[in-house]
Amino acid sequence: MEYGMYYLEPVTPYETISRKMTRVIAAGRTRFQDYFIFETAAFGKVLVLDKDTQSTEKDEYIYHETLVHPALLAHPEPKSVFIVGGGEGATLREVLRHPSVERAVMCDIDDELVQMAKRLLPEWHQGAFEDPRAAVITEDARTWLETHNDTYDAIILDLNDPVGEDNPARLLFTLEFYQLVKKRLKPGGIMCMQAGMILLTHHRVHPVVSRTVREAFKEVKSYRNYIPGFFLNFGFIVASDSPGALALAKEGLEARLRQRKLNLRHLNPAFITAMFALPTDLQEAIASEQMVSTDALPFYLTEQGEAKQAPYRQDV
C-alpha cells in the first residue's frame, strides 16, 4: 500500500472502506453533529457527518438523481415539493430542475451545516439555494410539518439511517411520521425516501422501513441503485395514497423527460424501470418483515445491522 493519510470508515464492524486523502478541507462540530470534509483523487470532495460518509463530489449526482426523479417523474405536474434533510443542497438542486416546480422548501435542522455547504460544497448545490423558488428552513422537520398545514405535490425524505439507540432520526422513521407526511400531501401526492443500504449483514434496514411505510400508504414500491462512493446498493421507496400514482411505463417516462427537457446524467427510462426489479432475497425479506416502527417503539439499527425497537429517550 502506498503511504499517506487515509480515512478509514467502518461500513460494518467487519468491513472498512479506506480512502486516501489529498487534503483536509474542514473539520469540527455543529450544534448537532461532527463534520469532516476532505478531498480524494478518485471521488473529489467527501462529506462525512458523525463519522459516516454522506456523499462524494464525483458521484453525488447518482444518489440525488435516484432519490428525486422517479417520484417527480411519476407526478404529472409537481408544483410544490418539501424536502426533509438534504443540507448539502443537492436534493434541492435536482427538484428545481423540473420546470413545473414553483416552490421547493428544504427543511434541515442544522443551520451551521447548511451555511458550510453553501461555502464549501458549491459542487453539490450549484446555486440552488439562491433560486427564487427555493425556501430553506432550519428547524426540526417533524415539528414544522406538525405545526404548518401547507400541502405539497411531493415530499422527499433525505435522511441518514437511524443507527444507534440514541439517534434522534429514529422519530423520522415511524408510522406516525409517515402518517403526518401523508396529511401534508395534496391529492395524488407522492412521498419518496432513501431507505437503507442493501447489504446482507444489514438486510433488515430496508424491509423494516418498507413494512412501516406500507402501514401508512396504499401504494408502496421499493427500488435500488448502486452508489459508487459507498461501494454498495442503497434502497429507496416511493409511496402514494392515490391508486395508479406510481404506475408509469418506460414510454411515459420518455415523454415526461422530453416535456421537461431533463437531460439526466445517470438515469434514463429503461434504467429507472430496471431499478424497481428487486432480487429474490430482498423481495422475500420485504414480504416476511413484521416489525412496524412507531413513536412508542421506534426502530433503530445496531452497528451489527440488527433491527431493534425500544422507547426513545432524549436523555440517553
β 16-20/6-10 pair status: antiparallel
Q: Which residues contact 136 (CB under 8 A, 6 or more apart)?
A: 92, 105, 106, 107, 108, 114, 129
CA pair distance 92, 101, nearest whole angstrom: 11
CA pair distance 269, 126, nearest whole angstrom: 25
As a whole number of Å, the end-to-end CA separation of the chain is: 41
Helix (H, G, I), strand (E, B) or coil at 222: strand
CA pair distance 192, 239, nearest whole angstrom: 6
Q: Which helix (H) or strand (E) holds 257?
A: helix 250-259
What's the grid cell of residue 107? 427543511
Residues present in the chain in total: 316
Is 153 an annotated catalytic residue? Answer: no
CA pair distance 175, 170, nearest whole angstrom: 11
Q: Which residues pair with 28 in a beta bridge?
A: 35
Exposed e or buried b per residue across 106-123, where buried means at least 16 C-beta atoms within 10 angstroms of its C-beta: bbbbbbbbbebbbebbee
Nearest Cα neighbor of 152 from 177, 192, 184 is 184
Q: What are phi and psi of 230, to 5 degrees?
A: -100, -10
Marked catalytic residue, from 131, 158, 241, 281: 158
Catalytic site residues? 158
